[in-house]
């Protein structure tokens, strides 16, 4: 018989496996035409901008929980590929407002279709769960998210010391 600790460890193992698969999926291309594609990660950025126009780099960083530098790099990459437009914000000379180009909206719609199928499938699968099961999953994911927030706030090499005593 499995103990509670065994079940917790197995659940963590499954969660880590899912996280690694998700990271691989983020790099998979979504074909828009014979000569144009975006990675899923890029499509998620395009989606965030499209749903929140006008958005700033700071807003994008906050939306994904990443550094401004990482958000800025993605924005530059997508602007260079012709998916995003950057213009100086009327509210701050230090910020750029982001919006989608016509090609950006094409990518947005393609990702929406692609994502919509997965979301519909997931909703259908989860609808068989009881309300208490869904609440348990939600609380568990919140706990994992809190741990990740703490880890990201204290990355290796930061002034966070481990106590090995």
Residues 48-74: what's their mean pLDDT? Answer: 92
Biggest alpha carbon distance in the chain?
64
Residues 94-102: what's their mean pLDDT? Answer: 91
Using DSSP's 3-state secondary structure scheme, residue 96 falls into strand
Domain ranges of the chain: 42-153
Which long-range contacts link 32-36 to residues 24+ away (Cβ below 8 Å)? 32/103, 32/106, 32/107, 32/110, 36/103
Residues 95-109: what's their mean pLDDT? Answer: 92
Model pLDDT, residue 1: 66
CB-based contacts of 2, cutoff 8 Å, min separation 6: 10
Residue for token pair 């530059």: 76
Model pLDDT, residue 162: 55
The secondary element (H helix, E strand) that includes residue 19 is: helix 4-26
Model pLDDT, residue 29: 86
**How many whole angstroms separate alpha carbon 74 and alpha carbon 60?**
10
Model pLDDT, residue 81: 94
Residues 46-74: what's their mean pLDDT? Answer: 92
Q: How many helices (H) and strands (E) does the chain have?
A: 6, 5
> Class of 42-153 per CATH?
mainly alpha
Model pLDDT, residue 165: 53
More confidently predicted of 84 and 154: 84
56-60, 68-72, 112-116, 122-126: which range is least confident on average?
112-116
Nearest to 64 by CA among 77, 76, 79, 75: 75
* 46 within 8 A of 78, measured Cβ to Cβ: yes
Does 55 have pLDDT greater than 60? Answer: yes
Does 23 have pLDDT greater than 70? Answer: yes
Q: What is the pLDDT of residues 104-162, one digit of tens each?
A: 999 999 888 888 888 899 999 999 999 999 999 999 999 988 888 888 777 776 665 55
Helices (H), 27-130: 40-51, 57-64, 68-80, 102-126
Model pLDDT, residue 163: 57
**How many whole angstroms separate alpha carbon 108 and alpha carbon 83?**
9
């Amino acid at each position: 018989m499995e103990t509670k600790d065994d079940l917790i460890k197995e659940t963590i193992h499954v969660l880590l496996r899912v996280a690694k698969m998700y990271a691989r999926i983020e790099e998979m291309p979504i074909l828009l035409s014979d000569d144009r594609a975006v990675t899923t990660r890029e499509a998620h950025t395009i989606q965030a901008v499209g749903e929140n126009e006008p958005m700033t780099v700071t807003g994008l960083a906050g939306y994904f929980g990443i550094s401004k530098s990482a958000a800025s790099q993605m924005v530059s990459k997508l602007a260079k590929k012709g998916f995003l437009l950057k213009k100086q914000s009327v509210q701050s000379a230090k910020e750029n407002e982001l919006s989608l180009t016509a090609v950006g909206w094409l990518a947005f719609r393609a990702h929406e279709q692609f994502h919509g199928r997965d979301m519909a499938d997931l909703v259908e699968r989860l609808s068989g769960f009881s309300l208490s099961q869904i609440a348990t999953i939600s609380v568990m994911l919140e706990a994992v998210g809190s741990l990740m927030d703490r880890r990201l706030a204290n990355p290796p090499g930061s002034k966070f010391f481990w106590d090995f005593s």
